[in-house]
A and B are shown apart, each in its own frame.
Chain A
Amino acid sequence: MGRRIIALTIKEFLALLKDKKSRTVIIVPPLVQLLVFSYAATFDLNRVPYAVYNEDPGSASRDLLAAFTGSTNFREVARISSNREIAPLINGRKVLLVLHIGPQFTRDLLLRRPAELQVIVDGRNSNTAMVVLSYVRSIVTGYNDRWIERQGLPKSPARLVTRFWFNQNLESRWFIVPGVVGILTLVVTILVTGLSVAREREQGTFDQLLVTPLRPVEILFGKALPGFIIGLGEASLIMLLAVVWFEVPLRGNILTLYTGIVLFLLSAVGVGLMISSLAVTQQQGLLGAFLFIVPSIILSGFATPIANMPEIVQELTLLNPLRYYLVVLRSVFLENSSFTLLIHQFWPMAVIGVVCLASAAWLFRHRMH
């Protein structure tokens, strides 16, 4: 049995790697995508363009505005002097926000009346708007503290001290890069396995395999191993890049991490082979792979939290191996989670993998065309 599997595995590797083009397709796009997407996919904002509409002649408003000019998150692009000018700037996306300071600002402050900073934000992308507002608030809070200090005003009865665990400076990249690692592992594994059976069916060699003494289990092993090994290699490579290049801290245990990787690859290879054995042509295989990859990325918690989804969609994500894998990656990378803590992420991947592999093996012989 072992010898036959080895013969099959060697053949699969040769078929995959002998051709320069397919070798390139497996290696280059994932690395390019890791770089591009890791830089592109961030919710952090910088150099946000804003306009100032300052009606106040006093010095307080100048101080406040100086705090914005001094921040790298903001970039002043216009000063306006009437309400009418606001709409064209925001509508045309020239600025994301307008800071409006009324004529009474300094006076109100000095009279210890609440002074208002009006912030008009473009809400077309509501998430960006929320992030911008949180930036604005933190600048204003800093200004308030300084003002209270300088004027010797009574302090507030309590302070709020917020700390962010695992990601002190709230770097989006620390969250996104492990996610990209997960996505790319999925894409590569599915691309390698998703066509392997369909390609052979199209070329007629699969019939040839079925009439040899190979048992479905052996075919399954032979087909799964290359995807598994390539996936493992590629996942290790892009993780290395994530740590070395993007400086994402790897705080957890490598063994725990690799348990997660192995189980995820098991499920991804399983899904890939199942798609592949369902498909009659490579085109169908490709389409199937695609139709699996797209929802599993969107419903994985990669960009938007699963907790925000409606109940029913949340339950649907339980079928998505990427969902568990992302949790494992992020927990091990950033939170140093223990093996036992992640056990509930591990077993669903194992179940998905085993079920898919079993159905793939059954389909080898039962899929008609």
Chain B
Amino acid sequence: MNDNEATTHHHGSPPDQVVLEFKNVSKTFTAGKRKIKALDNVEVRVPAGVITGLIGPDGAGKTTLMRLAAGLLVPDTGTITVLGLDATHDSLAVQASIGYMPQRFGLYEDLTVQENLDLYADLQGVARDQRVDRYRELMRMTGLAPFTSRLAGRLSGGMKQKLGLACTLIHPPQLLLLDEPTVGVDPVSRRELWSIVDRLVREQGMSVVLSTAYLDEAEQCHEVIMLHLGKLLGKKPPGEFSRKLEGHAYTVRAPGLNKRNVQKKLAQGAGVIDAVIQGERVRLVMDSTERPAIKELLEGSDDALLQPVPARFEDSFIAMLRSQTSKPKSLAPQTDFNQRRRIGGGDNKVIEVHDVARRFGDFYAVKHVTFDVKQGEVFGLLGANGAGKSTTFRMLCGLLPPSGGQLRVAGLDLRKAAAAARARIGYMSQKFSLYGNLSVRQNLNFFSGVYGLHGQRRAAKIAWALQQFELEGQADAVSSDLPLGYKQRLAMACALMHEPEILFLDEPTSGVDPLARREFWLRINELAEQGVTVLVTTHFMEEAEYCDRLAIMSAGKILALGVPAEIKQEASSRENADPTMEDAFISLIQADEEESESNG
């Protein structure tokens, strides 16, 4: 990511001025019988005129911190000062001088863009005669000018995000609080948002606090506040976080070896903090500066290339989390999985999608999509929210009939297939659909029951799930009270109870912390090696690297289909010889837009 030297300049405000200060702040919520310490004795000072990032996995306390600062919550202990005012007692005065964009942008979807702006202008008390200029400026900044009479609900995710931002900026705030503004938004819109925020800071000296789950965004902040489970892990410029790990990071290239295999072996090696697939290499972070013995780690692969690389912010984040949690276990093979008859040879097409479309009213959510997935393959559907990947996914699972085209899963249309055919697939949805008020064991009981397991086999399978997914300690906990990472594990355990041949996973990693994501992909790899076919949707660009093949979707269309390396290759140019998946995505979207413009 580019270096934001500009943001470190302080315009207008003296460098030591503090816009937001948390002293000793704690905040506890009760969920069921459990008390959750959302913030635990947090001390933070946010300087004026810069972007401060709030980083942490789901449940770290980011949103609680934002809401406390906006005067929407009252702390249990401690004081919060915003722009010199007490956020608890003078909350109205605080709210008059800050801008706050909540997670879902706070838009009225049944009002038009203009009506939303008018409402917020009224609420913020912006004088009538100033509005015309202000609106014009905001519309120019966000590029929404052509859409003022469109209903907010009809805007794309990226446009909603920009409208939400415009609404909070209608009365120029001194402090701007943005709660996860980039979640689920396509990379183009993410970049645009960052450039708008950068400009606000640079040109108007605005102070910004922005929370995010994307670790790469941290590097664009002047300072980063790192939170984990309500505790402050650190607050310094992002560079300083990674400096500690300088000399710990490498990339590994092992010709002739499957990169997933390499990553798996490395991840389980001694002294390894982190191993992730990055392009055609595996990025390795060690716990010391000592050069790792790659041969031992890879069990005798001679020609592995080890190349030192600079440390990233993410490395330090993983290192910090790793020091607090144990390493994930690898998934032991299932009892009789290997004896299972495979559906056919390696080239057997397990999922076939031909010219499939789905229409809702006059809106095409999926436009004539064609792809297929071979047995044992990990296939990814990549795209932003609203790109059509969930709709495609639901059609494949037989939950939604297509408006046109053909779908085949294991040679059958699941919508019409006999119940027995459905026993061959496993399904895990976006929301980790578990029965919230049932305990972990009751959920496992239920799912094994509906898949027809009983007696000894059922008991054995439940024991296997509890042990493999490290849920033994939580077996009798109510599942809605579990932390998100545990929910994800339980959901996956439930989907695997009946040893499915094909696994459908819809946004399985959304919202969970980076460690849980790594653990998750490790398990997926294991399953793929055992011959399970996996179809997964995700909006994390870097997760595309874990897939054997993938389809990039945008606005209901497949923009690119193939092996990750090929897709990236197509996007490479003279300026950028080794593009990331995100770069590839952006260039694909831009190319698509140009094409549709030239077509009229």
Contacts and interface: CB of A to CB of B under 8 A. Distances in A.
Interface of A: 3-4, 6-8, 10-11, 14-15, 18-19, 203-205, 207-215, 365, 368
Contact of B449 (A4, A15, A208, A365): A4
A18 B438 contact: yes
A211 B398 contact: yes
A18 B449 contact: no
Interface string B294-314: 000000000000000000000
Given A15-B437, A211-B422, A211-B425, A204 B452 contact: no
A290 to B, nearest CB: 24
Contacts of A19: 437
B437 A213 contact: no
A213 B420 contact: yes
B449 A203 contact: no
A7 B429 CA distance: 21
Contact of B399 (A11, A207, A214): A207
Given A10-B446, A214-B450, 7 more contacts: A11-B446, A14-B437, A18-B437, A19-B437, A208-B427, A211-B422, A213-B420
B293 interface: no
Given A3-B454, A4-B450, A7-B449, A207 B438 contact: no
11 contacts: A4-B450, A14-B435, A15-B437, A203-B436, A204-B429, A204-B430, A205-B434, A207-B427, A211-B398, A211-B422, A365-B415
Given A19-B437, A207-B394, A213 B423 contact: yes
B477 to A, nearest CB: 13
A208 B495 CA distance: 9
Nearest to A4: B450
B422 A212 contact: yes
A332 B448 CA distance: 45
Nearest to A6: B449
Contacts of A212: 422-423, 447, 450-451
Contacts of B427: 207-208, 211
Interface string B385-428: 00000000010011110000000000000110001101101010
A213 B433 contact: no
**Interface SS of chain B:** loop
Contacts of B400: 368
A213 B419 contact: yes
Q: Interface range on chain B: under 10, 10 to 19, 20 to 34, or 35 or more?
A: 20 to 34
A204 B430 CA distance: 8
A361 to B, nearest CB: 13
B452 A4 contact: yes
B126 to A, nearest CB: 34
A142 to B, nearest CB: 64
A203 B452 contact: no
B449 A3 contact: yes
Contacts of B445: 7, 10
A25 to B, nearest CB: 14
A15 B398 contact: no
Most central of B430, B434, B435, B436 by chain A CB within 10 Å = B435
B425 A14 contact: no
Contacts of B452: 3-4, 213
Contacts of B448: 7
A163 B333 CA distance: 83
B360 to A, nearest CB: 8
B430 A8 contact: no
B582 to A, nearest CB: 29
Interface in B435-489: 435-438, 442, 445-452, 454
Given A209-B450, A210-B398, A15 B438 contact: yes
A11 B419 CA distance: 20
Contacts of A204: 429-431, 433
Given A3-B452, A215-B419, A207 B446 contact: no
A22 B366 CA distance: 40
Contacts of B436: 203
Nearest to A22: B437
A210 to B, nearest CB: 6
Contacts of A14: 435, 437-438, 442
Nearest to B500: A211
Nearest to B449: A7
A208 B437 contact: no
Interface string B213-226: 00000000000000
B435 A7 contact: no
A208 B438 CA distance: 15
Contact of A213 (B415, B435, B450, B504): B450
A307 B72 CA distance: 58
Contacts of B423: 212-213
Contacts of B451: 212-213
A36 to B, nearest CB: 30
Nearest to B399: A207
A211 B449 contact: no
B399 A210 contact: yes
Contacts of B422: 211-213
B482 to A, nearest CB: 15
Given A3-B452, A210-B399, A211-B398, A11 B433 contact: no
B438 A205 contact: no
